Structure 1
């Protein structure tokens, strides 16, 4: 009987079957290195639509605004499609004038007052939301969301009606309370009264964001910390300073940063209430750029003011972030 030879050794593999460093062997199968490269590119591919939209919607208009700031462009040149470059003349005229610096100081003070009031009232309401029951919390949050969701132009129009000189609700209430001299008072006739109306409007629209944000932050604080503080004999104020405030500090920093940006560029509220009047005494930088550019039909000048406004806002933001980072380093 013929003996049968059984091959027990595995035949040598060819270079096409075995690949060095491959996770799965075989033609058409992805290698471990290729899979890692695909995984590394995944986040960038997901960010690509957002980056593209940002460049098209924000980057390109910003470039056009910078180019326009170096041109002498008025209505006649705009109609004739004539481009006249004048270098840095627009910036020289703006920076050497007193109006720009006066409006800049006014804008900074206006932003500081509104941010302080917004953060103070928003923080108090946020802490109140954490203490209320479910029904009262739902009622208060519903009102905050409605105030926050109202369009800016609609809210400004409502405030115009509230503070109207003849038929305004505010004047009627003050008259009924005994201040008869306020029955026919014009809230937009002076600088301070106009700023008062604008400030009330901006704070009313900004407080809901701060309050809801801080209430959400309070839900992340472990209750065990409050129990430990009470066992140590800490009162309400000490519990707030040692437990609540350290947890809320990052949220306060981020919210304040956003409020500085939003309030500094509050064009709609100021322009809708009184158009920067009376006598251009309530203009802030965005309104000043619009009136100089569109109102006076000097578009290059308006573009230069807009670019300077962006630079000032970046400077304020960098200064604020520097303070925040320094405080965080000191805490570590």
Structure 2
């Protein structure tokens, strides 16, 4: 037997864990190429079919003069960008857009402040009280929008509302028979209370869930150093939950900016169209005035604004990831 044969005889077999080459991987251990894409294909096709086609049709409609006359005669009148030019040069459109931005900002600030406060409270409560408060939050969050709006309309009713009755009994006799939907600010107040009441549970429950991921040792170390509650929040809680705050705030901005049901159901954008936000404005111009092309153009402009907000959010996320590297 030659030296080379002897060396091969004493060499460890491949894959025996002693320095040999690893055994070939089993084909069953590796996913087939393209399987993940096949799994999400039905959902993607359904999404594109339901949302994408509707968006395309809405976009085509925005380039047309589409009124009852065109619908009756089955005539398509292409007008190019006239609908967009009309809105972008209209002071009314920009007033509604500014109103929508202010309305969104006020609601999001209130939702985040109250939601974070309740979420931190959940983290400090005992198990029984936490379960009770969580159940109440989930029930408020799960209530259908139309049902919740109907309840609030009854609460703030001019003649039979509980709010007016309670304020009158507390000494504010001028609130007896007060119409909450007769003025711009009072109508927005009712809508804001309704939206905040519906949105706070989402922030609170998610914040509490996020606080459970923070190591307790950090709080114990901060307490030993004599840190106050506010100092522990700014130095321990907030840095860990910064991605949560960023994502939740962005979601609330999108949800509030496109809110339609609450604004329309409370007073249909009144009085005198002074509480219309962009979604309600698009509906009133499209369905109310039967200028369907104009309404479609307003909705597309609203989507463009939402895309601009999304782009800004993604920029913040990418910057945060770069800072963490």
Give yes or no for TM over 0.5. yes
Q: Give 2:245's aligned residue.
A: 252
1:280 aligns with 2:267: no
Tell me, in whole angstroms, the C-alpha distance in 1 between the residues paired with 2:76 and 2:235: 62
Matches within 5 A, 1:262-281: 262-281=255-274
Q: Give 2:48's aligned residue.
A: 55
Deviations 1:155-203 (A, max 9, x none): 1111110001011000000000010110110000010000000000000
Structure 1 residue matching 2:171: 3-state secondary structure? coil
Tell me, in whole angstroms, the C-alpha distance in 1 between the residues paired with 2:228 and 2:167: 41
Tell me, in whole angstroms, the C-alpha distance in 2 between the residues paired with 1:35 and 1:129: 44
TM-score (norm 1): 0.87
Q: Give 1:228's aligned residue.
A: 221
Tell me, in whole angstroms, the C-alpha distance in 2 between the residues paired with 1:261 and 1:83: 34
Q: Give 2:291's aligned residue.
A: 298
| CA displacement at 1:235 relative to structure 2 | 3.0
Tell me, in whole angstroms, the C-alpha distance in 2 between the residues paired with 1:53 and 1:239: 47
Q: CA-atom RMSD, angstroms?
A: 1.9
Tell me, in whole angstroms, the C-alpha distance in 1 between the residues paired with 2:255 and 2:262: 11
User: Given the superposition, is the C-alpha separation of residues 47 and 81 from structure 1 closer, same or farther in structure 2, using an over 3 Å criterion?
Assistant: same
Q: Give 1:127's aligned residue.
A: 120
Deviations 1:190-227 (A, max 9, x none): 10000000000000000000000100001111112222
Structure 2 unaligned residues grouped into runs of 5+: 1-23
Query: Rg: which structure is higher?
Result: 1
Tell me, in whole angstroms, the C-alpha distance in 1 between the residues paired with 2:254 and 2:101: 11
Deviates more, 1:125-134 or 1:222-231: 222-231
Q: How many residues align?
A: 303
Q: Give 2:179's aligned residue.
A: 186
Deviations 1:228-270 (A, max 9, x none): 2223333322222221111111111111111010000010000
